[in-house]
């Protein structure tokens, strides 16, 4: 729009974009300019733009798009994975053989199962039950390699985890002592 007089005002753009729910593409066609020219004008004139998610919802409500706004159609879709408290969760389809391990009920966690439990279930060839605890040997919750996972039950897990932690601490201290001894020799 350099060297050209603007053919629309901030009030016009605000009215068309927010009140009439027009898209920047529709506004650009109306004025016979490029979509980027409208976007730059809105920015320059201080007309706020909708987020991409708001734009999709608005277009769906107005019947401009027909896809439901769930799963892959959502702007924040991350391929069916989410992380919570360091654990990785995977979205499962109802036809998945371990669907029984997925969280049920409403909310954003519906249909997700902990990845470390899925890895162990695949290895065992059976779904895990609530008594089965999958423990990360190295303490890294996102490290879901089979060699880093161990299956214990709820009764023995606290004792097992404590023993494992003490063994790890002993290894750390032994390595520290070895480093000190090596420094004294030098």
Between 1 and 119, where is the model more confident? 119
Does 68 score more than 70 pLDDT? no
Indicate whether 51 and 105 sit together in one domain: no
Is residue 67 in a domain?
Answer: no
pTM of the model: 0.50
Q: Please report, rounded to a whole number, the percentage of residues in the chain having pLDDT higher than 90.
A: 25
Indicate whether 134 and 164 sit together in one domain: no
Q: Give the tens place of pLDDT for each residue, 84-140.
A: 889 999 988 888 899 899 887 655 678 889 999 999 999 999 999 988 999 888 888
User: What's the structural domain count of the chain?
Assistant: 3
Instruction: Please return the burial class of 50, using the count of CB atoms within 10 Å of its CB with bins 0-12, 13-18 and 19+.
Output: middle
d(CA 113, CA 135): 15
Give yes or no for a contact between 113 and 103, defined as CB atoms under 8 angstroms apart. yes
What is the structure's pLDDT at 4?
54
Between 40 and 60, where is the model more confident? 40
Sequence-distant (≥ 6) Cβ neighbours of residue 110 within 8 angstroms? 102, 103, 104
d(CA 98, CA 103): 11
Q: What is the extent of the structural domain holding 29? A: 10-61
What is the structure's pLDDT at 1?
42
Tell which residue, 156, 79, 153, 91, has the closest CA to residue 118: 91
**Helix H or strand E segment including 118:** helix 115-124
Does 71 score more than 50 pLDDT? yes
Between 38 and 6, where is the model more confident? 38
Which tokens hold the place of 106? 């409403």
Indicate whether 132 and 86 sit together in one domain: yes
């Amino acid at each position: 729009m350099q060297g050209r007089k603007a053919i629309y005002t901030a009030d016009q753009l605000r009215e068309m974009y927010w009140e009439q729910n027009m898209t920047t593409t529709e506004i650009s066609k109306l004025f016979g300019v490029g979509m980027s020219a409208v976007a730059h004008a809105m920015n320059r004139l201080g007309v706020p733009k909708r987020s991409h998610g708001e734009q999709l919802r608005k277009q769906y409500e107005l019947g401009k798009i027909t896809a439901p706004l769930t799963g892959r159609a959502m702007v924040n879709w991350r391929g069916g994975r989410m992380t919570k408290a360091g654990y990785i969760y995977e979205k499962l389809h109802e036809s998945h053989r371990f669907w029984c391990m997925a969280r049920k009920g409403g909310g954003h966690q519906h249909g997700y199962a902990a990845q470390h439990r899925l890895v162990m279930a695949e290895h065992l060839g059976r779904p895990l039950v609530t008594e089965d605890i999958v423990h990360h040997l190295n303490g890294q919750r996102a490290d879901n390699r089979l060699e880093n996972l161990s299956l214990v039950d709820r009764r023995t897990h606290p004792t097992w985890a404590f023993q494992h932690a003490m063994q790890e601490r002993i290894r750390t201290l032994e390595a520290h002592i070895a480093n000190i001894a090596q420094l004294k020799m030098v």
